[in-house]
Amino acid sequence: MARSATSKRSVSTGSATLRADAAKSPTGQKNSVRSRDGYLLVWTAFSLAATAAQWALQRAALLDPMMTSVSEVFGAMVLIGAGAYQWTSLKDICLKNCRSPLAFILQHGGFRRDARSSLLLGLRHGGYCVGCC
| 17 falls within a domain | no
Task: Say what the pLDDT of residue 15 is.
Answer: 46
DSSP for 24-71, written as a single string: HSHHHHHHHHHHHHHHHHHHHHHHHHHHHHHHHHHHTTSB-TTS-BS-
Task: Say what the pLDDT of residue 56 is.
Answer: 95
| 123 falls within a domain | yes
Task: Say what the pLDDT of residue 72 is.
Answer: 94
Task: Say what the pLDDT of residue 27 is.
Answer: 57
For residue 129, give the amino acid letter.
C
Task: Say what the pLDDT of residue 26 is.
Answer: 56
Give the residue ranges of the chain where pLDDT is below 70.
1-28
Say how many domains are in the chain. Answer: 1
| 20 falls within a domain | no
Is the pTM for the entire model greater than 0.95? no
